[in-house]
Amino acid sequence: MVSTFVLLLSTIVVIGALKFFFVVRRYFTHWKNKGIPFVPGYKNLLISWKAVLGYMTFTDLSEGMYYHHPDVKYFGGSDFTTFTIFLRDLELIKDITVKDFDHFTDHRVFIDENVEPMFGKNIFSLRGDRWREMRNTLSPSFTASKMKFMFELISRCSHDFVNYLAEHPELYSTLDTSEIFKRYTNDVIATAAFGVSVNSMEDNENEFYKKGKEIGSSSFGVPAMLRMIFLASCPRLAKLLGITFVPTATSRFFKNVVRETIRVREERNVIRPDMIHLLMQARNKDGQVHKIELDDIVSQAFNFFFAGFDLSSRLMCFVAHELAVHRDIQDRLREEIQRHLAEGNSEISYESLMRMTYMDMVVTETLRKYPPLLFIDRICVKKYELPPAAPGYKSMIVEPDDILMFPVYSLHHDPKYFPDPEKFDPERFNEENKDKVLPYYYLPFGQGPRKCIANRFVLMETKILIAHLLLKFNLKTVERTVEPIVFSKKEFILTPANGFWIGLEKRDA
């Protein structure tokens, strides 16, 4: 009996060792067998784990990968254990995001909707026909006419926010903009996506703001990334263990808010042209292949909140930082705002905001220097042939489920496309120069049909806040301001290691 047990154990060990050997062997030979330029497996592992363990920033990881093969159209690498094709060629990026989009319609999905519907059912995660249906449902929320309607709500939030600051001088001698701008974006998203009015400056601990902070504090660090990888690779085990990306109490809160909003609107016949109203209409529409349920509506509203609360506020922080550092740019922008204010009966209108060309240049350059995401991905859904990566190489067949990555940060900081890339220079996007910037190496919101659906909303809420802020205050650097910004090694999106610190100086009325 003992000999049988020993034999069985030995067999299991040998099989396990052989499987491990072949997995490791495949990891180190996969791209060599494909015949394309690649980053060696040992280097992939080394820089990936150095970033995860906090020995280097994720921007350093991006740059290390990007410049390993500076003269090729694409190269093979890996996202930890997942093989990935990194694109460097602008024509290829154009083909994959626009021209041949039907071969690359989907994003990589980290969280299974059966494990966590809050994330798995949102428009970013949906695939194929389900994504197209949801995109068609939500697109009317972000048309120019809807933006004009939303402008009044957002402008009110911006006025309340800036007026509160003006009335509380004790707040702004040294200010962490990351903290306060999240209060503004919280109020904007609450009213625009959920139809709920809150004032997070007056009511510091409102439930929306508390939930937003809970999500933001646990969503962009290395532990969150590892949790996401676990959810992606072991969804059944994650569900069995009760591991989720969003805390259960937070999911329950947003679901209850949406359910109650829908109930009140149906009972009182309330019509409010926002996201929830469009989703309510779509829920009752005939001919939809995939019926919209409560979880679908909650997921879209939550996704809007999740992205708007943190990522949008970071954009505002970076704009404020650069304006504080570059007073000449700040003064020129303020002059433009005041000029439009004088033309609009002392109020900034939607139309006047859209005509602020220098404002657009400043925000566009901020997104160039500090893109919201370092990488954007696409999943191949139909077999596709890539041209040779460089002279001497053969073409490559991309198979369904293969992952392609666009290194957004590195494209935005490539001196071939943007000379002196670390310099903050809005003139890159002036009337004379902006047509020279091809859309396929400027990708803050992605490109093609999968481009961020809410990009106009994000730009509008950012511009209106900056406009109102500059009318009331001068932005200045303080002792805790760090320039150039040093990025944190603990987060996989762009975050200053020591926070966003500026000072405000109230202007004469």
- The binding site for heme consists of 452
The annotated binding site is made up of: 452
Burial class (CB in 10 A: 0-12, 13-18, 19+), 212: buried
Tokens representing 448 are 């093609």
Tokens representing 143 are 């048309």
Largest CA distance in the chain: 94
- Residue 383: CB atoms within 10 A of its CB come to 11
Distance of alpha carbon 207 from alpha carbon 217, whole angstroms? 15
β-bridge partners, 443: none
Tokens representing 271 are 């019509």
Strands (E), 227-368: none
Distance of alpha carbon 2 from alpha carbon 136, whole angstroms? 66
User: 3-state DSSP call for residue 230?
Assistant: helix
Residue 106's nearest CA partner among 130, 89, 87 is 130
CA distances from 480 to 82, 171, 175, 502 (A): 40, 15, 9, 8
CB 437 within 8 A of CB 416: no
- Helix or strand run (H / E) with residue 165: helix 144-167
Burial class (CB in 10 A: 0-12, 13-18, 19+), 160: middle
- Residue 211: CB atoms within 10 A of its CB come to 22
At CA 24, angle to CA 22 and CA 27, rounded to 5?
A: 105
- Residue 7: CB atoms within 10 A of its CB come to 10
Distance of alpha carbon 440 from alpha carbon 95, whole angstroms? 10
